């Protein structure tokens, strides 16, 4: 059974750094892209970027280029999304999804809620 399990909810102060994770199982992790999607409270979905774990080829959506870093460690079947300095406007649910290069996500993680507040 294909599963993507994300790390737990986070409450972070503005200016702090954060790295959240997405662990894949039940399939060959290096054969599929992993995408990250943001959903701000009460708002729609936004593709942030995708990564191919086999060679770490990474593509960022223009709105997120330079704002976040997407990485992967294929030895532990895990992808990561990280921020160096969080802002209140980063408060959102973040989902990872197994996808192809065209950003069509067939399996999704349960989501990680990130709350940035002082």
Distances from the Cα of 84 to the Cα of 22, 79, 95, angstroms:
18, 17, 19
CB 79 within 8 A of CB 69: no
Site string for other proteins, 11-30 (x = CB under 8 A): --------------------
The reply on whether position 59 binds other proteins by CB under 8 A is yes
Given candidates 9, 30, 82, 110, which one binds other proteins under the rule CB under 8 A? Answer: 110
Least Å distance, CB 4 to other proteins, is 9
Residue range at the interface with other proteins (CB under 8 A); choices 12-20, 44-52, 70-78, 79-87: 44-52
Give the integer Cα–Cα distance in Å for 5 and 1: 12
Tokens read off for 84: 């160096």
The reply on whether position 56 binds other proteins by CB under 8 A is no
**Between 23 and 59, CB nearer to other proteins:** 59
Residues 6+ apart with CB under 8 A from 43: none
**Between 24 and 49, CB nearer to other proteins:** 49
Give the integer Cα–Cα distance in Å for 114 and 14: 12
């Amino acid at each position: 059974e294909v599963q993507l399990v994300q790390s737990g909810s986070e409450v972070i102060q503005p200016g702090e750094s954060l790295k959240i994770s997405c662990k894949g199982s039940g399939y060959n992790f290096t054969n599929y892209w992993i995408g990250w999607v943001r959903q701000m409270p009460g708002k729609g979905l936004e593709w942030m970027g995708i990564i191919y774990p086999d060679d770490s080829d990474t593509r960022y959506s223009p709105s997120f280029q330079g704002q976040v870093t997407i990485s992967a460690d294929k030895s532990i079947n895990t992808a990561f999304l990280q921020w160096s300095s969080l802002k209140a406007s980063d408060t959102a649910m973040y989902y990872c999804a197994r996808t192809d290069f065209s950003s069509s996500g067939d399996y999704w993680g349960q989501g990680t809620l990130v709350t940035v507040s002082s």
